[in-house]
Structure 1
Amino acid sequence: MVVLLFIVILLLLIVLDDKLGQKIYRSKTAQKEYPMRNSNLTFFKHGKRLFNDYFEAIQQAKHHIHILFYIVKTDHISQQFYDLLKQKAKEGVEVRLLVDRIGSFGLPKTVIRSLQESGVKFAYTHRPTFPYFFYKLNRRNHRKITVIDGKIGYIGGFNIGKEYIGQDPKFGEWRDYHLKVTGEGVQDLQTQFFDDWAVATKEKLVSKNDYFPEVESGTIPHKFIATNGHFLENDYVHLIHQAKKELIIGSPYFIPSKKVMKALLDALHRGVKVMILVPLKADHPLVKEAAFPYFYRLLKAGAHIYRFYQGFYHAKVIIIDDKLCDIGTANFDKRSFFLNSEINCYIHDKQFIKTVRTAVNQDFADAEKLTLDFWRKRTLWERGKESVSMLISGLL
């Protein structure tokens, strides 16, 4: 009886901690919407091509390398990454590496010490602290940003590890979308890195010319949106309301909020073709099952839902009427809507969107269509897991 009472009190304290943490944090944060910029954008969907380009750009750095990742591993690809950063730091290049404390949990202290001894400035973001420990423990900095010499930027879904280049047999081919940015937009990625670095380390970097050199304007209009767990839901509702003919959504996790779900159903009711692409495999417990109740309502309303079977689908993309494309770090789930720090790129260029659309079409071709008949034939075990997943869907 005493043990049960202790458990109940502990759970109540965790819930109270979470609710108060949310309330306090929401009152102190704001969405950061950067200006419309013109940059040159390069689109990557294969890890090997991205990392070949990415490592080459780091190798050519002359002044600074600023990197934020959600996950960095300790395999041979990660070691190549660390060795390159240490080499550049020894050459006198300023190197700062910021990683999420929970996303990169288990990163050995020996790796961190080796980086620091070589001159790399290392820090964790989103360290859970008191008060509101449990709320902070559940928050993540899910952004992936790299800025090199203030002239080259990278943003997207890839992290650092062998699975991202298709070398983990559990997942096979890894599908993700990432952008290389040159031109005006790099300054906004730099500013966002400065903000995240200051939050994590309390060190405010000086905005001098070496960090913000003059750059030529590019040809592709776009803007970055940085959210901190409370604004992405409204952004996505607004995007969905803009769709007149077609709405494409690609995400590894599909757990929409009530407002987003209503917006999707409204789009279907007004005749918009809604196409959704998710992975067949799961990389986390219950996230796959958590999507099925939403799938049922969407399928009944006429949505087209596909599950990517050619490996693992980790890309985050929204395409609206071939007029607007969103590529970034945010998943189509409650965690990205209400907890994570994310950054997305809204692109307004028909030719570039056509390139992304071609890639998405290829991924749809490597996917199986989900049907209501399949949904109805789920086993009792599968239905049970769905019920459990719905109870904790905000934390998945």
Structure 2
Amino acid sequence: MVSPHVPPLPWRHPRTPGPWRDGNRITLLENGEQFFPAAFAAIAGAQREVLLETFILFEDQVGRDLQRALIQAANRGVRVDLTIDGYGSPSFTPEFLSELVAAGVRVHVFDPHPGWLGIRVNVFRRLHRKLLIVDGMRAFIGGINFSVDHLAGSGPEAKQDYSVELEGPIVGDLLSFARAAAAGDGTGEAWRHPAEVSRDTAGTASVLFALRDNRHRRRGIEREYRRAIANAQREIIIANAYFFPGFGFLRELRRAAKRGVRVCLIVAAESDTPIAHPATRTLYRHLLSAQVEIVEYCERPYHGKVAIIDDDWATIGSSNLDPLSLSLNLEANIFVRDRAFVQALRASLDALRQRQCHAIERTQLGPRRWWHAMARPVLFHVLRRFPRWAGLLPAHTPRKQILSAEQTA
């Protein structure tokens, strides 16, 4: 299949995802065991610039390793911008932050809010992206945060997740966006003109960089998903940690299954968010009735956000398929057309299915209750309307704060 390449434009409307870029190399990184060494090696080799965004940064062994790598880069003259989310990364010792700032690292906190009676209240409008760009030559994107619970050896609660390393022209799009986000309010609203895109071919993958925000790019990621689902011919595999999409997304999945496409949904058997798994289970009967396969992964918490369609389309990034990611959070995904990468991701997901997974059958759902007939229309009405309702909450506009030496003392 010919890659749907769109040539770069001198200007593009912010509602439109960036163009597909040909000639990229993409490497799948599974869990922290593969991601952290690659990311830290890239930072260690940085000569000019490191731009890093993460939802979660904890002051554990991984967080301290990252702190040390960023300080070393700053000490040798590299410009370093670190952006963390005020909800996902709630607290650090004064020394942890002050040492970063003293070395010259610009530490940005997206939507900082004090807790209320010890409770973090800014749950909405979170910066959920996970991006790392080094010298404009290498980039990383996916769902892995900088915390020790992404290492399988950390125990039974360690998360199963994915990231990728990118080289090639697509890195220019990530670079220009990350610069705009660091220089502005964290949303990248000023991102209009992509950086000068390298023409050097690094591989065979065509890649599209897509964003979701609360201004002009509200549905960019979901739109790319639904377009690919509507065009699927043989197979759809969605492996997503939090699955509770809107009515239109579910309708596209059911339509694909009914026209003979094999549709397989891989979800977590348990979730670190109490409401997430029960919400997903409310969709099982509706999906199974259209011959959608549902598999629950039971070995440990599943945190990935990936999908495969046919033999040459895949996506990976920070976006879950739930109301927070699709209607509220700031998210970043890439969409890939490359058979070799799809094969690598498929092999990983096949191995996942062979480890502590079980298929859901309709007989396991129990008898249909009398109230199901009433509850189902209400549920789908909520799913249909939630994006519009979510746009009204909360009333505040998130802001970004750059920490000074006085603030970290």
TM-score, normalised via structure 2 length: 0.78
Please state whether the residue corresponding to 1:153 is helix, strand or coil: strand
Which whole-Å deviations, capped at 9, do the CAs of 1:144-196 have from their partners, x for residues lacking one? 11111111110011000000112443514x32111101111111110120122
Once the two structures are superposed, the pairs formed by residues 47-126 of structure 1 within 5 Å of their partners are 47-126=32-111
Equivalent in the alignment of 1:250: 239
Query: 162-171 vs 367-376, which deviates more?
Result: 162-171
Q: Is the 8 A contact 1:242 1:320 kept in 2?
A: no
Give, in whole Å, the separation in 2 of the partners of 1:64 and 1:142.
Answer: 22
Once the two structures are superposed, the pairs formed by residues 1-396 of structure 1 within 5 Å of their partners are 30-127=15-112, 138-172=124-158, 174-200=159-185, 214=198, 216-219=200-203, 220-229=205-214, 230-231=218-219, 232-366=221-355, 367-376=357-366
Alpha-carbon spacing, 1:203–1:289, altered in 2? closer, same or farther (3 Å):
closer
Which whole-Å deviations, capped at 9, do the CAs of 1:117-164 have from their partners, x for residues lacking one? 1111110124479xxxx9975111211111111111100110000001
Alpha-carbon spacing, 1:135–1:228, altered in 2? closer, same or farther (3 Å):
farther
Alpha-carbon spacing, 1:34–1:340, altered in 2? closer, same or farther (3 Å):
farther
Indicate the percent of aligned positions where both proteins have the same amino acid: 25
**Aligned pairs, number:** 353
RMSD of aligned Cα (Å): 3.2
Q: Which runs of 5+ in 2 are unaligned?
A: 1-12, 115-119, 369-375, 391-409
Alpha-carbon spacing, 1:258–1:191, altered in 2? closer, same or farther (3 Å):
same
Give, in whole Å, the separation in 1 of the partners of 2:294 and 2:198.
Answer: 45
- Give the Å deviation of 1:109: 4.1
Alpha-carbon spacing, 1:157–1:204, altered in 2? closer, same or farther (3 Å):
closer
Which whole-Å deviations, capped at 9, do the CAs of 1:201-228 have from their partners, x for residues lacking one? 7999999xxx868562122111111221
Give, in whole Å, the separation in 1 of the partners of 2:102 and 2:223.
Answer: 44
Q: Is the 8 A contact 1:325 1:348 kept in 2?
A: yes
Q: Is the 8 A contact 1:37 1:223 kept in 2?
A: no
Q: Which has the higher helix share?
A: 1
Alpha-carbon spacing, 1:377–1:60, altered in 2? closer, same or farther (3 Å):
farther
Which whole-Å deviations, capped at 9, do the CAs of 1:293-334 have from their partners, x for residues lacking one? 111111122111111122222111121111211111111112
**One-letter amino acid matched to 1:216:** D
TM-score, normalised via structure 1 length: 0.81
Give, in whole Å, the separation in 1 of the partners of 2:327 and 2:297.
Answer: 26
Give, in whole Å, the separation in 2 of the partners of 1:204 and 1:264.
Answer: 32
Q: Which runs of 5+ in 1 are unaligned?
A: 1-27, 379-385
Alpha-carbon spacing, 1:199–1:81, altered in 2? closer, same or farther (3 Å):
same
Alpha-carbon spacing, 1:90–1:203, altered in 2? closer, same or farther (3 Å):
farther
Please state whether the residue corresponding to 2:211 is helix, strand or coil: strand
Alpha-carbon spacing, 1:294–1:148, altered in 2? closer, same or farther (3 Å):
same
Please state whether the residue corresponding to 2:241 is helix, strand or coil: coil
